[in-house]
């Protein structure tokens, strides 16, 4: 087929190097890529193209363009780039999020959609309520360790929903999942490892000087193996003994045909899906919950307003819960603003175009990698005026409603995050109950002044705030009583 038959121009972008082939490699940022890509957008426009070692990549910095390319043309834009470092060397092929858009992927996706559609996701609210109530108690007793408590809570929620597994202190499965996830996200940054650009490198043994990635890869591979086998073996045993609690795993085992007509294949898909579930679910929810805490230190007036709403609608005698959702518009707006203000996956997960395409007169050849700069899109001041401020009010303006941040933060088209309903449920409950019970405030520094922690985030495919100090104190006696009473009324076991 003739390439670019009409000789159209490619989308604009920063000028490539004069050295043939290397393209824009020298321009590629090594951290916080989304900020550089956002600045490029201001110079070159909402759709730009770069080229690195012969690989073309489009970077999208606008909601409209992302919708038109990644949602409306999802049928030709849902493939993933080959990521040899992660997929082959670290053996993350089990992760449907990284699989090419083919019939195998579609089976994995179907299992996930079945397990986490809106109705199924709401069916796990009792898990979120229980673990969240236990979190409030921990924060009452030991608020300084909030980061650690939150991590354990999100891990506990995911393990229970995914596998029906109650985590223990220093839990082995949590350790495996966290270590594997960390290895994966740091390797999956666009261009983090040269091997993704030069796939031939994957055949170089690890003792060759400069081939450090081989060592990283072999550690990653061992973790991936543990992640796929150990928790699954535990869950299978429970299932076979008839002791399995309701979970994503059990739902799929009971209805395995949704994954495949063939039992052997269905089991394989279920094993992969449960491993993916806790590899993708815990860290992402944790990151958004931490962003909320950080935002409260930046926008104390928001916290006051939210607490007024909670006092008026819910009152001092009980915790807010899911049935209050509709009556709490300001809390709902905070959840939206949390998803917009800082992004859990700032550059999304890259898509890959499967057929030549033309957009607004520009040529986009098949094989181009499409990166939606979700951070940049969420900070487009044409769409979200005063984008760096944490201002939930923007979602309450009936005349001028901006796009819903959950249509940005969770990605696009046929690849949109299948865990989004579950994630939003967790984040909502966390935000509503934290604001009902606690004042989240700045600590006072040695100079007697309040410290506002900077908005500093880790680099990598998934991003979260760097550790920051904050003070978490019960709002009043009633809040302490409500927490204690709620914990006491929890059933002893699931
Ligand atoms: C605040 C929390 C979360 C955020 C912001 C988030 C965001 C995302 C994004 C941006 C993508 C890529 C979509 C695309 O390619 O355009 C994605 C994919 C995915 N997410 Fe999430 N996610 C979150 C929580 C979860 C949870 C709780 C689960 C599991 C229950 C989950 C499972 C997945 C899976 C399996 C994929 C791959 C989908 C595919 O390639 O078809 N995520 N997520």
- Residue 106: what pLDDT? 96
Per-residue pLDDT tens over the stretch 97-137: 989 999 999 999 999 999 999 999 999 999 999 999 999 99
- Residue 408: what pLDDT? 98
The response to whether residue 409 sits with its C-beta less than 6 Å from ligand 1 reads yes
Residue nearest to atom 3 of ligand 1 (CA): 284
The response to whether residue 417 sits with its C-beta less than 6 Å from ligand 1 reads yes
- Residue 109: what pLDDT? 96
Q: For the chain, first and last CA: distance in Å?
A: 60
The response to whether residue 99 sits with its C-beta less than 6 Å from ligand 1 reads no
User: 112, 273 in Cβ contact below 8 A?
Assistant: yes
β-pairing verdict for 55-60 and 369-372 = parallel
The response to whether residue 96 sits with its C-beta less than 6 Å from ligand 1 reads yes
| Nearest one of 394, 300, 286, 382 to 340, comparing CA atoms | 394
User: Among 42-51, 164-173, 210-219, where is mean pLDDT lowest?
Assistant: 210-219
For residue 196, pLDDT beyond 70: no
Q: How far is the CA of 277 from the centre of ligand 1 (A)?
A: 9
- Crossing angle (nearest 10°) for helices 263-298 and 212-240: 110
- Name which residue leads in pLDDT, 304 or 224: 304
Q: How far is the CA of 153 from the centre of ligand 1 (A)?
A: 19
- Residue 493: what pLDDT? 84
82 token code pair: 């080959």
Q: How far is the CA of 166 from the centre of ligand 1 (A)?
A: 23
- Crossing angle (nearest 10°) for helices 263-298 and 300-313: 110
DSSP code per residue over 195-245: GGT-GGGGGS-TTSTT-HHHHHHHHHHHHHHHHHHHHHHHHHHHHHTT-PP
Q: How far apart are CA 357 and CA 79, in angstroms?
A: 14
- Residue 138: what pLDDT? 98
128 token code pair: 């979120």
pLDDT band at 366 (very low <50, low <70, confident <90, very high): very high
pLDDT band at 199 (very low <50, low <70, confident <90, very high): low
The response to whether residue 345 sits with its C-beta less than 6 Å from ligand 1 reads yes
31 token code pair: 């951290």
For residue 189, pLDDT beyond 80: no
- Name which residue leads in pLDDT, 17 or 58: 58
Residue nearest to atom 20 of ligand 1 (CA): 417
- Residue 394: what pLDDT? 97
DSSP code per residue over 415-458: GS-TTHHHHHHHHHHHHHHHHHHEEEEPPB-TTSSBP-----B-
User: 15, 23 in Cβ contact below 8 A?
Assistant: no
User: Is 437 known to sit in a ligand binding site?
Assistant: no
The response to whether residue 286 sits with its C-beta less than 6 Å from ligand 1 reads no
Average pLDDT, the chain: 91
Q: How far is the CA of 34 from the centre of ligand 1 (A)?
A: 18
4 token code pair: 């670019």
Total length of the chain: 494
User: Among 53-67, 316-330, 431-445, where is mean pLDDT lowest?
Assistant: 53-67
For residue 271, pLDDT beyond 60: yes
| 3-class DSSP assignment, residue 379 | coil
- Which of 410, 415, 431, 461 to probe ligand 1 with, by most ligand atoms within 8 A of CB? 410
Burial 3-41 (b: 16+ CB within 10 A, else e): eeeeeeebbebbebeeeeeebbbeebeeebbbbbbbebb
- Residue 202: what pLDDT? 53
- Residue 185: what pLDDT? 67
The response to whether residue 406 sits with its C-beta less than 6 Å from ligand 1 reads no
pLDDT band at 207 (very low <50, low <70, confident <90, very high): low
> What's the mean pLDDT in 375-399?
96
Q: How far is the CA of 450 from the centre of ligand 1 (A)?
A: 36
160 token code pair: 């229970």
The response to whether residue 100 sits with its C-beta less than 6 Å from ligand 1 reads no
Per-residue pLDDT tens over the stretch 384-393: 999 999 999 9
- Which of 417, 420, 421, 428 to probe ligand 1 with, by most ligand atoms within 8 A of CB? 417
> What's the mean pLDDT in 319-326?
98
The response to whether residue 124 sits with its C-beta less than 6 Å from ligand 1 reads no
Q: How far is the CA of 418 from the centre of ligand 1 (A)?
A: 6
Q: Which residues contact 234 (CB under 8 A, 6 or more apart)?
A: 163, 165, 173
| Sheet of 351-352, strand order | 47-52, 55-60, 369-372, 351-352
| 3-class DSSP assignment, residue 315 | coil
Per-residue pLDDT tens over the stretch 415-471: 999 999 999 999 999 999 999 999 999 999 999 999 999 999 988 778 999 999 999
- Residue 85: what pLDDT? 67
Query: What is the CA 312 to chain-centroid distance, rounded?
Result: 33
| Tokens 């003739």 found at | 2
């Amino acid at each position: 087929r003739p390439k670019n038959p009409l000789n159209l121009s490619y989308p604009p972008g920063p000028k490539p190097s004069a050295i043939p082939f290397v393209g824009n490699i020298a321009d590629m940022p090594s951290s916080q890529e989304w900020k550089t890509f956002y600045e490029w957008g201001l110079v070159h426009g909402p759709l730009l193209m770069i080229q690195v070692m012969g690989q073309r990549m489009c970077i999208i910095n606008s909601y409209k363009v992302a919708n038109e390319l990644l949602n409306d043309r999802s049928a030709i834009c849902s493939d993933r780039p080959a990521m040899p470092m992660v997929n082959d060397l670290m053996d993350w092929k089990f992760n449907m999020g990284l699989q090419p858009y083919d019939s195998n992927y579609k089976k994995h996706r179907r299992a996930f959609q079945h397990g986490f559609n809106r109705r199924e996701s709401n069916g796990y609210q009792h898990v979120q309520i229980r673990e969240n109530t236990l979190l409030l108690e921990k924060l009452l007793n030991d608020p300084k360790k909030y980061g650690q408590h939150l991590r354990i809570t999100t891990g506990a929620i995911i393990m229970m929903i995914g596998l029906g597994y109650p985590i223990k202190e220093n839990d082995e499965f949590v350790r495996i999942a966290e270590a594997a996830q960390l290895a994966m996200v740091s390797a999956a940054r666009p261009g983090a490892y040269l091997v993704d650009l030069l796939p031939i490198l994957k055949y170089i043994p690890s003792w060759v000087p400069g081939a450090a990635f081989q060592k990283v890869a072999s550690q990653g591979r061992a973790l991936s193996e543990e992640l796929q086998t150990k928790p699954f073996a535990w869950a299978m045993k429970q299932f076979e003994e008839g002791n399995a609690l309701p979970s994503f795993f059990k739902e799929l085992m009971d209805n395995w045909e949704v994954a495949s007509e063939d039992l052997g294949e269905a089991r394989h898909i279920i094993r992969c899906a449960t491993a993916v579930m806790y590899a993708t679910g815990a860290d992402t929810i944790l990151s958004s919950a931490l962003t909320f805490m950080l935002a409260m230190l930046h926008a104390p007036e928001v916290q006051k307003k939210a607490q007024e709403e909670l006092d008026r609608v819910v009152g001092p005698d009980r915790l807010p819960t899911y049935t209050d959702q509709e009556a709490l518009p300001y809390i709902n707006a905070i959840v939206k603003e949390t998803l917009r203000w800082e992004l859990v996956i700032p550059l999304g997960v890259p898509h890959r175009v499967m057929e030549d395409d033309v957009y607004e007169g520009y040529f986009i050849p098949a094989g181009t990698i499409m990166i939606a700069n979700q951070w940049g899109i969420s900070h487009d001041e044409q769409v979200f005026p005063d984008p760096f401020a944490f201002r939930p009010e923007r979602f309450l303006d009936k005349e001028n409603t901006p796009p819903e941040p959950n249509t940005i933060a969770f990605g696009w088209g046929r690849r949109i995050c299948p865990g989004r309903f579950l994630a939003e449920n967790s984040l909502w409950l966390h935000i509503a109950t934290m604001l009902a019970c606690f004042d989240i405030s700045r600590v006072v520094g040695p100079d007697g002044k309040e410290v506002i922690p900077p908005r500093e985030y880790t680099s990598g495919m998934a991003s979260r705030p760097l550790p920051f100090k904050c003070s978490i104190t019960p709002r009043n006696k009633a809040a302490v009583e409500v927490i204690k009473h709620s914990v006491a009324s929890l059933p002893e076991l699931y």
